[in-house]
Amino acid sequence: MSRLIFSDSPRSALLYAVSDLNPSSVHIVTDTTVARIVLPQLDLPWSAITAIPAGEEFKDLASLQQVWTALIEAGVSRRSVIINIGGGMVTDLGGFAAATFKRGVRFINFPTTLLSAVDAAVGGKTGINFGGLKNEIGAFAPAEAVVISATPFATLPVEQLLSGYAEMMKHALLSGPTQMAELLQFDPVTGSRDTLLQLLERSIAVKERIVAADPTEQGMRKSLNLGHTAGHAIEALAINRGNPLPHGYAVAAGLGIELVLSHLLKGFPSESLRRYIQWLRTAGYPRTSYTCRDYKQLVSLMRHDKKNTCSAEINFTLLSSPGTICIDCTVGEEEINAALDIYRDMME
Amino acid sequence: MSRLIFSDSPRSALLYAVSDLNPSSVHIVTDTTVARIVLPQLDLPWSAITAIPAGEEFKDLASLQQVWTALIEAGVSRRSVIINIGGGMVTDLGGFAAATFKRGVRFINFPTTLLSAVDAAVGGKTGINFGGLKNEIGAFAPAEAVVISATPFATLPVEQLLSGYAEMMKHALLSGPTQMAELLQFDPVTGSRDTLLQLLERSIAVKERIVAADPTEQGMRKSLNLGHTAGHAIEALAINRGNPLPHGYAVAAGLGIELVLSHLLKGFPSESLRRYIQWLRTAGYPRTSYTCRDYKQLVSLMRHDKKNTCSAEINFTLLSSPGTICIDCTVGEEEINAALDIYRDMME
């Protein structure tokens, strides 16, 4: 399990995390945007830096080779430490590079987006896209430490704050009514950074508890897929149309659809469903991005989700109430169509 | 830890190992030579086969991509099982492909050479060569099961039998005088396959004990480097000259040199050293492959061995007697030169 360091002084937190590991050398992996905007502010004492091109489309084998080659040229040894500084793309790819270089070099993550802080930087999933498939190649490899600070979020666009906040809402739904109510009340765009960091700490704790119980996703960890079977389909549909959605926007819609399914099949309370939709309509998320003509394609995309071990079934994580989780729920096409209808009605 | 299945009926052992894992599908990874010579004899019931080009020079990223792509095209899922059938090159690369596909698919190894049976198929080290460096990229990932049989050794050339037997001798030296005596008496080329399989079982048990105590090579696992600091230098020297040695031949010489060092620095008994050299001279291994003009290059190669965490020191695993191991012994250049001299004298 990774050591989590929450701090409003990321520079000293990183110095502390590194000194604690007593490495023979330090190498920073980042992307070109973060290298330009965030690194100068941090003023870190390590000069070995590899910046891969920014953007999800560069989370690929070519960038991975670029990092491996840079690590060789810099003389990185098994006793070195790699620091990944960036969004989920950097922490995923840099973590995988570290996990496979000389069969494993220790690494520290410093997520610079809300989404990567709440999601990608914790839990040991690393990887790259391959053969047109997301995260198809990767490993389970936890960071030695993750430094989490709200400081880099100050320069994030609204879209990225809302995208990360949707993953926090997922954790709240998995946790229970108290955390759900807390998040429904807070505004991540205008609210205080101190409060956001506190909410983030509690949100990450939910994920940590689940991952600790099942690090390699044999059972309970599947609960983290809440909102993601429908969400990934929404995301893929948008990409196919050449009009990509931020990941968290797709998850926010996916959560809505799967809460409707939870209500239909598992008795998730209508009052909680109503409150979630109400929040979604007012917090700044976009309206529904599909019509009934897209149902067939959405169902087909759900069927081919990586998590499905058998392509004949569609598996969901559902809730019978906030905090009460049912994994491995097999759902039929008609029920999915009904949920897509109801969600669309509620959002109009 | 992998499950080890020793059997003189590899086909039924493989069927048993697979059924035990209850996979959704089975995919075989092998090389073109093994696909032609060994697979037809095995007559296995699975038709999904990927054959990479045979030879250490193809243990690279291109072959890895070939395997990943084939796994995608065959629809391999997280519940599938991959069977790696071949020498160390296939089990290393196929194991790494499995360990990183969808963040980890279960795999079974069936080593077809003595060297891979005793060494590469057990212990969870997987990887590929990268940037001109051996096993530079990889992961620690144990096979679910390893099926070990002497059957495929029947078609191995003498050179490959002796190469594997040198690694067995290393385990015997780490184990103690009884196993050492047993191996000195047996002839792997003319001796019975049944006896060879029994010796192999005891030899692998030595490695298993050491790996179980230290799977990620923080301490005791370094004892398995016995013979390999000098051996890798001998191997690299031969490659640089365009006249490669089989890995085990280099290890056999490396063991000789490091036993001389053990005698000089740790009091390894001269009688045991003498017996080892006597065996080496008569078992069919080649004579010394270097002269005093090569000492400088050999020392430099030892200095840059991956296991050295700091390039100023040269680290060895040495023995104070058969079975009594000293890891992390720092040795100076003059002592190495002396050992290279003495070993050469003893072999002439």
Q: Indicate yes or no: CB of B139 within 8 angstroms of CB of A78.
A: no
Report the C-alpha gap between A131 and A27 in whole angstroms: 29
Query: Minimal Cα–Cα distance from B41 to chain A, Å?
Result: 32
CA nearest B96 in A: which residue?
A100
Report the C-alpha gap between A124 and A117 in whole angstroms: 13
Report the C-alpha gap between A259 and B333 in whole angstroms: 70
Q: Which long-range contacts (CB under 8 A, 24 or more apart) does A243-246 make?
A: A245/A286, A245/A289, A246/A159, A246/A160, A246/A162, A246/A163
Take residue B75 and report the two structure tokens written for it.
């629809």
Q: Return the H-helix or E-strand segment holding B279.
A: helix B270-282
Q: Indicate yes or no: CB of B131 within 8 angstroms of CB of A72.
A: yes
Q: How far out from the chain centre does Cα A123 lie? A: 10
Beta strand pairing status for B26-31 and B324-330? unpaired
DSSP symbol at B57: G
Closest CA to B25 of B93, B73, B65, B64: B73
Q: Which long-range contacts (CB under 8 A, 24 or more apart) does A177-182 make?
A: A177/A272, A177/A321, A177/A322, A177/A323, A179/A203, A179/A206, A180/A272, A180/A322
Report the C-alpha gap between B224 and B227 in whole angstroms: 8
Q: What are phi and psi of B230, to 5 degrees?
A: -70, -40
- In 3-state terms, what secondary structure has residue A278? helix
Helices within A214-246 (DSSP H only)? 228-240
Chain B residues whose beta carbon lies within 8 Å of the beta carbon of residue A125? 103
Q: Indicate yes or no: CB of A309 within 8 angstroms of CB of B133.
A: no
What's the predicted TM-score (pTM) here? 0.89
pLDDT of residue B155: 87
- In 3-state terms, what secondary structure has residue A4? strand
Provide the β-strand partners of residue A4: A146
CB atoms within 10 A of CB A62: 10
Query: Minimal Cα–Cα distance from B308 to chain A, Å?
Result: 9
Take residue B306 and report the two structure tokens written for it.
């991956």
Residues in chain B, how many? 348
Query: Minimal Cα–Cα distance from A114 to chain B, Å?
Result: 24
Read off the pLDDT of each residue in A300-313 and give the average, rounded to a whole number: 71
Interface probe with A: pick from B100, B135, B222, B305, most Cβ of A within 10 Å: B100
Interface probe with B: pick from A24, A71, A100, A309, most Cβ of B within 10 Å: A100
Closest CA to B138 of A124, A128, A96: A96
Q: Which of A65, A103, A137 sits opposite B100 (nearest CB)?
A: A137
Q: Write down the ipTM of this complex.
A: 0.88
CA nearest A307 in B: which residue?
B78
Closest CA to A83 of A62, A61, A108: A108
Take residue A234 and report the two structure tokens written for it.
């929404």
Query: Minimal Cα–Cα distance from A246 to chain B, Å?
Result: 23
What DSSP string describes B194-239?
HHHHHHHHHHHHHHHHHHHH-TT-SSGGGGGGTTHHHHHHHHHHHH
pLDDT of residue A214: 87
User: How many angstroms separate the Cα of A214 from the Cα of each of A92, A210, A248?
Assistant: 19, 7, 24
Interface probe with B: pick from A64, A101, A137, A308, most Cβ of B within 10 Å: A137
Q: Indicate yes or no: CB of A140 within 8 angstroms of CB of B104.
A: yes
CA nearest A73 in B: which residue?
B131
Instruction: Indicate the burial class of B46 (C-beta count within 10 angstroms; 0-12, 13-18, 19 or more).
Output: middle
Read off the pLDDT of each residue in A100-123 and give the average, rounded to a whole number: 93
Chain B residues whose beta carbon lies within 8 Å of the beta carbon of residue A68? 130-131, 136-137
pLDDT of residue A308: 60
Q: From chain B, which residues contact A within 8 Å (Cβ)?
A: 24, 61, 65, 68-69, 72, 75, 77-79, 99-104, 125, 127, 130-131, 133, 135-140, 216, 306, 309-310
CA nearest A135 in B: which residue?
B102
Spatial neighbors of B101 by CB under 8 A, at least 6 apart, are A136, A137, B68, B71, B76, B82
Query: Minimal Cα–Cα distance from B69 to chain A, Å?
Result: 7
| pLDDT class of A42 with cuts at 50, 70, 90 | very high
Chain B residues whose beta carbon lies within 8 Å of the beta carbon of residue A130? 68, 72
Closest CA to B92 of A128, A125, A103, A135: A103
pLDDT digits (tens, 9 = 90+) for A189-230: 999 999 999 999 999 999 999 988 888 788 889 999 999 999
Q: Indicate yes or no: CB of A72 within 8 angstroms of CB of B133.
A: yes
Q: How far out from the chain centre does Cα B124 lie? A: 12
DSSP symbol at A124: S
Q: Indicate yes or no: CB of B309 within 8 angstroms of CB of A65.
A: no
End-to-end CA distance of chain A: give it in Å, rounded. Answer: 43
Provide the β-strand partners of residue B329: B316
Chain B residues whose beta carbon lies within 8 Å of the beta carbon of residue A103? 125, 127, 135, 138-140
- Cβ atoms of A63 and A128 within 8 Å: the answer is yes
Q: How many CA atoms lie within 13 A of A10 on its CB side?
A: 23
Chain B residues whose beta carbon lies within 8 Å of the beta carbon of residue A225? none
- Return the residue matching tokens 């990567």: A116
Under 8 Å CB pairs connecting chains A and B tally to 76
pLDDT tens for the 348 residues of chain B, in order: 789 999 999 999 999 999 999 999 999 999 999 999 999 999 999 999 999 999 989 999 999 999 999 999 999 999 999 999 999 999 999 999 999 999 999 999 999 999 999 987 788 999 999 998 889 999 999 999 999 999 999 889 999 999 999 999 999 999 999 999 999 999 999 999 999 999 999 999 999 999 888 887 888 899 999 999 999 999 999 988 999 899 999 999 999 999 999 999 999 999 999 999 999 999 999 988 899 999 999 999 998 776 665 556 799 999 999 999 999 999 999 999 999 999 999 998
Query: Minimal Cα–Cα distance from A78 to chain B, Å?
Result: 7
Q: Indicate yes or no: CB of B72 within 8 angstroms of CB of A136.
A: yes
Chain A residues whose beta carbon lies within 8 Å of the beta carbon of residue B65? 61
Instruction: Indicate the burial class of B347 (C-beta count within 10 angstroms; 0-12, 13-18, 19 or more).
Output: middle
User: How many angstroms separate the Cα of A121 from the Cα of each of A216, A256, B256, B328?
Assistant: 16, 25, 48, 35
- Cβ atoms of A229 and A315 within 8 Å: the answer is yes
Instruction: Indicate the burial class of B11 (C-beta count within 10 angstroms; 0-12, 13-18, 19 or more).
Output: middle
Q: Which of B24, B103, B138 sits opposite A127 (nearest CB)?
A: B103
Q: Indicate yes or no: CB of B306 within 8 angstroms of CB of A102.
A: yes
Q: Indicate yes or no: CB of B103 within 8 angstroms of CB of A138.
A: yes
pLDDT digits (tens, 9 = 90+) for A260-299: 999 999 999 999 999 999 999 999 999 888 999 999 999 9
- Cβ atoms of B89 and B128 within 8 Å: the answer is no
Report the C-alpha gap between B128 and B126 in whole angstroms: 7
User: How many angstroms separate the Cα of A192 from the Cα of each of A80, A111, A287, B232?
Assistant: 37, 19, 26, 59
pLDDT of residue A300: 92
CA nearest A79 in B: which residue?
B309
Report the C-alpha gap between A344 and A52 in whole angstroms: 39
| pLDDT class of A311 with cuts at 50, 70, 90 | low
- Cβ atoms of A107 and A86 within 8 Å: the answer is no
Query: Minimal Cα–Cα distance from A98 to chain B, Å?
Result: 10
What DSSP string describes B135-200?
EEEEEE---SEEEE-SGGGGG--HHHHHHHHHHHHHHHHHH-HHHHHHHHH--TTTS-HHHHHHHH
Chain B residues whose beta carbon lies within 8 Å of the beta carbon of residue A72? 130-131, 133, 136
Q: Which of A24, A127, A310 sits opposite B310 (nearest CB)?
A: A24
Instruction: Indicate the burial class of B270 (C-beta count within 10 angstroms; 0-12, 13-18, 19 or more).
Output: exposed
pLDDT of residue B348: 87
